[in-house]
Amino acid sequence: MDSLNILMVAYACDPEGGGEHWLGWGWALEASRDHEVTLVTTSKAGASLQCQAAEHGMDVHFLDVPAWMRKVTEFCGAPGTWLRKFWWQGMALNLARQLHAKNKFHLVHQTTFHTFRIPFSCSRLGIPSVWGPVAGGESVPSGYDNYLGAGAASEKRRSALNRLNLAMPWVRSSLQRVSIILVSNRTTLKFLPTSVHRKCVVMSPNALREEDMGEAAPERPAGERFEMLFAGNCAPTRAMPLVFEALALGLPVGWRLRVVGAGAALDFWKSEVSRLGLGEQVEFTGLVPRDTLKEIYSEAPVLVFPGLRDSGGSALLEAMTLALPILTFDWGGPGEMVDKDSAIIVEVTAPSKTIVEINSGLSLLATRPEEGRRLGLNARQRALDYFPWEKKRMVVDRIYRDLTR
């Protein structure tokens, strides 16, 4: 098939970065395997990008907000950061128009920012456009505030700002104008206006590189106690107090939970463990080196990930590739990554019901290790079937081809 001339806009883009920055590079790299790619990004990872882009035949254009703009806004905190991103979008549109006049693009794809709150200005080029994966519509379900600690107030503000942003004309016009919206999860899809649902495709932002697809962890014989693991940023919206209360109801076997990571919610989590009298059975390790974390993953028979506002789930994907059984929520990004054949999925209808379901799920895994192994192997197969970059590239390439026919 003929290659297309694609303009890719990725504010966050770094071949050696993590999170959104690494995903920004990943989408550009995958598109370059079949198409001519012109990449517009910032110069933050300039040296690395220039080298790797040349290796893959990409044309890279670096764009940064003026020094005076950065100086004026750096004292404004979060509002200043958002203002710089809006300003950058306007600059990106001006550059895109110049590039398009010289070398006509077949379509434009904005991959990062990974949120609907920053408009897609380059969709104004008058050519087919793809936006995403975008997230941002996730919010903590009603009734769960008590499990967020001091983070409850900021979550309420965020939810209010989300609704306000969705009403902004520049956001509404971007949503209406774009050809296809890749949406990170069904939670965000439901948040977006129903008028754009017809052009939305749900696609988890997480992806696997070849080096991420190692061997499944060996099956571990049942020990004297049931081992569980939480790994990741200890953010208030990863509502571990729900798990603590579920464990306080009791499990049919002895158990231990390891909490690996650091973050704003850690003190609240520790206080909840103390209040519930679980101190001897819950271990907080803090941050650990990457190699140590891999060892912990290989030793842990179960990952618990009670995310109430995650757009994706890199910790889940890592556990899936290792064939670890997972307990998580049917909400936001984690709800897209696994299904009932590959994880224990808990509904988030009401906290009391959620706590009972967590307890039931963990009790099942604690007493039936063969069921945990079955779920883990299914999770690994699901990871290999849906999450390699090659699989995502094939889906997006079909979208590109359909739009440009």
Tens of pLDDT, residues 39-55: 999 999 888 899 999 99
Q: Model confidence over 103-153: pLDDT tens digits? A: 999 999 999 988 999 989 999 999 999 999 999 999 899 899 999 998 999
* 195: in domain: yes
Q: Model confidence over 191-219: pLDDT tens digits? A: 999 999 999 999 998 888 777 777 777 67
Rounded to an integer, the average pLDDT of 70-86 is 84
CB atoms within 10 A of CB 366: 21
* 151: in domain: no
Rounded to an integer, the average pLDDT of 386-398 is 93
Residue 377 in this model has a pLDDT that exceeds 90: yes
* 152: in domain: no
* 147: in domain: no
Residue 76 in this model has a pLDDT that exceeds 90: no
Q: Model confidence over 175-198: pLDDT tens digits? A: 999 999 999 999 999 999 999 999
Distance CA 334, CA 329 (A): 7
Residue 81 in this model has a pLDDT that exceeds 90: no
Mean per-residue pLDDT of the chain: 91
Range of the domain at 261: 210-386
* 278: in domain: yes
Specify the pLDDT at position 318: 87
Same domain, 336 and 393: no
Q: For position 303, which CATH number holds?
A: 3.40.50.2000
Number of compact structural domains in the chain = 2
Amino acid at 34: D
* 366: in domain: yes
Helix (H, G, I), strand (E, B) or coil at 346: strand
Q: In which band, very low, low, confident or very high, does the pLDDT at 12 lie, cut at 50, 70 and 90?
A: very high
Same domain, 252 and 199: no
Same domain, 218 and 358: yes
3-state secondary structure 117-148: CCCCHHHHHCCCEEEEEECCCCCCCCCCHHHC
Same domain, 220 and 356: yes
Same domain, 202 and 299: no
Query: In sequence order, which residues have a C-beta less than 8 Å from that of residue 230 and are 6 or more positions away?
Result: 238, 240, 243, 257, 258, 259, 260, 261, 303, 304, 305
142 torsion bin: left (phi>0), alpha (psi -120 to 50), beta (else): beta
Distance CA 370, CA 136 (A): 37
DSSP 16-54: T--HHHHHHHHHHHHHHTTSEEEEEE-STTHHHHHHHHH
Same domain, 262 and 187: no
Specify the pLDDT at position 223: 63
* 144: in domain: no
- Give 3-state DSSP helix, strand, coil % of the chain, rounded to 5: 50, 15, 35
Specify the pLDDT at position 216: 74
Placement of tokens 């001091």 in the chain? 150
Buried b (16+ CB within 10 A) or exposed e, 324-338: bbbbbbbbbbbbbbb
Specify the pLDDT at position 46: 87
Same domain, 290 and 192: no
Sheet (strand 326-329) strand order: 282-286, 255-260, 226-231, 303-305, 326-329, 344-346
Rounded to an integer, the average pLDDT of 298-321 is 87
Same domain, 240 and 379: yes
Query: In sequence order, which residues have a C-beta less than 8 Å from that of residue 148 and are 6 or more positions away?
Result: 140, 155, 236, 237, 239, 265, 308
Same domain, 200 and 230: no
Helix (H, G, I), strand (E, B) or coil at 328: strand
Written as six digits, the tokens of 112 are 């990062």
Residue 1 in this model has a pLDDT that exceeds 70: no
Rounded to an integer, the average pLDDT of 344-365 is 95
* 40: in domain: yes
Helix (H, G, I), strand (E, B) or coil at 1: coil
Rounded to an integer, the average pLDDT of 217-242 is 85
Helix (H, G, I), strand (E, B) or coil at 326: strand
Same domain, 195 and 301: no
Query: In sequence order, which residues have a C-beta less than 8 Å from that of residue 176 and are 6 or more positions away?
Result: 195, 196
Same domain, 363 and 251: yes
Q: What is the pTM of this model?
A: 0.90
Distance CA 288, CA 296 (A): 10
Same domain, 118 and 236: no
